Structure 1
Amino acid sequence: MIQKGLENLHPHLLAHVPRPPGAPRQKKTVTSAARLRPMPPPKPVPPTNTGTPGSQGPVLPTPPAKPATSKMAKTSQRRSVHPLRTIGGGKKPASSCKPQTGGNIDLEELMPLPNPKESLTLFLDPVGSDDWEMKTKRLQSVQALVKHHPNTLRDKLQEVCYAVIEEVKNLRSSVASAAVDTIVSMYVYLQKDMDTMVDKTCCALLLKIAQSSVNVFLRQQANKALDSLVQNCSPAPVLNVLLRTGLSHLCAAVRASAAQKIHLLADSLGAQKIMSSGNSFKQSMVVAVNKICVDAAAEVRPHGLTILEDLAFQPNFMELWGRLVSQKDRPLLENILKKIKRERKRR
């Protein structure tokens, strides 16, 4: 009985249990749990592709090597997503400023209206805020009025401008885009007649650039509209609104856009014409340049440095600059002027 009970124990425990005296030695038994599993057969090794005449096995073709992409190519692909910013220089003709309207209709395709006075009255009538399609069509009719019937529009120019500015603030992008295009058409075709409304229209465009919710397309469209403002309206009101509103804005994108437009205005006039203009315009330009040069944003300062480099060598500039620069900014601007003159001598 004792021997039978010992046989039922686990083989590992059985090895440590002492046998009773006189009991025969038992053979070791291997249970099914302790049996080793059979090893899987080894995988056949493919013959080595040596390519020599005496080698065993067939010669396998060598797979084609993947073309290596250089680091320069990868870097250029990454950088191509963000185009470089360029500074627009030189005055362009008014014909090159004609944009696309909100309905993708070119200004050249706008036909004369059969009844311009009725179309003007219809535009000034209030429309429901949800009827955006009607608003877009009426804004396109204003573009046709500006191009083909400017005399009809001049009598109510201020009223029309205020109505268009309200649509620039519209949250629907198609209406806001058509309103921005309408302001551009007014700059292009009415030109100096828009001087009285430069302040209001420019502020509306700068506010559109400052809005973080605006998409990139509308921001670029408003920026191009400011180019039309600089190229077609009188320099004095344009400079005043850019200095007073644009360069004083808290948004860096607005200040950068205003600095670029002042740079464009200075390029179109030339340094000699600026210094020979009236005292008011000349002083405003110098104050604007000083303000741009000491701006906190890196994208703003280069525009001021370029203008200052052209103005620094004009007669009577240093005298005017010494009277207008503030004591806080004087040390920094003096170092900038010294650096500009040093680089000019090296050339």
Structure 2
Amino acid sequence: RNIRQAFSRQKALEKIKKMEKPALGSKKVKLKFTPKISSGRDVLSVRDLAVSFDGYQLFKNVNISVYRGEKIGIIGPNGIGKSTLLKIIANIKTDYEGEISFGHQVHTGYFDQEQTNLDSENTVIDEIWDEAPALNYYEIRRILAQFLFYGDDMYKIVEELSGGEKGRLSLLKLMTSNANFLLLDEPTNHLDIDSKEVLEDSLINYEGTVLVVSHDRYFLNKVVNKIYDLSEDGVFEYLGNYDYYLEKKAELEETNDEVTINKTKTQINAEKKKERELIRDRQQREKNIRELEEKILMHENEIHELETKLCQPSTYADTFLIMNLNEKLNIRKEELQELYTLWEEFIDN
């Protein structure tokens, strides 16, 4: 233990560069964590996912769409399979039916309640430095201080940390890794108030994508902007935090209470199916709009480049080049106009 701590101190000394020491700042300084690699707009697509154990259907008809930058909470009754769903997405469990696909350059990072991503024999500072070797000594100290590791705390052995300290360190390790899509299973469990506040602030200031299973309504209220309510028949999407979910669910239940008396089970199931189809159609529409906007941006950039080339003095003497550039320019302008028209149709519908 002492040898490991001494080695960490020596490693830290070797990494200190001759520079003016920056202020570590107060506990209230908020750091923005930007993933090393940016994912595409479409992060995750789950289609018709179903899970069974020993002939017992845990859940079915699960359809989820996750887009870059979203902070999403998964809620539902105990035992419904929320953690199982997260482990399937993290590729820890592979026994399921349905389709799961990730977008371009998506790198997942999984946080579980046991903090299994930590090396128990490492020191705190080495646990982060091994994940982010490009950071210098002062940068490491700054982010460790943000996660409430001060002074000699950073030379503690991971095995000797409290549950709250391990939780903070595990999250920091994920946020300094190559992950840009964090999968968090009950991250606030066993955390003290200070650790929980650090967790909330860090996720709010995280510029990647987050999918979290949690029973903590206050945490969900502060961090997430979309909620999936998991049941044995699938998921229902709510475009807001936990308070929004409670409000909309109450409205739906009130409406259902008024009409259920006069409806058969077949009618109710048909309506639920139609509701899921509407949500799927809306998600597909949003995806189509994003793809169109990307194409529009590409065409606008290409038109700008072609117009710039046409204005260059070196182009004036080359008649063939001018004709070729003009032809490409006209084609791109026509295509752009078609994209504008299509985009307006999607927006108006």
Larger Rg computed on CA atoms: 1
Q: TM-score, normalised by structure 1?
A: 0.24
Higher strand share: 2
Q: TM-score, normalised by structure 2?
A: 0.24
Higher helix share: 1
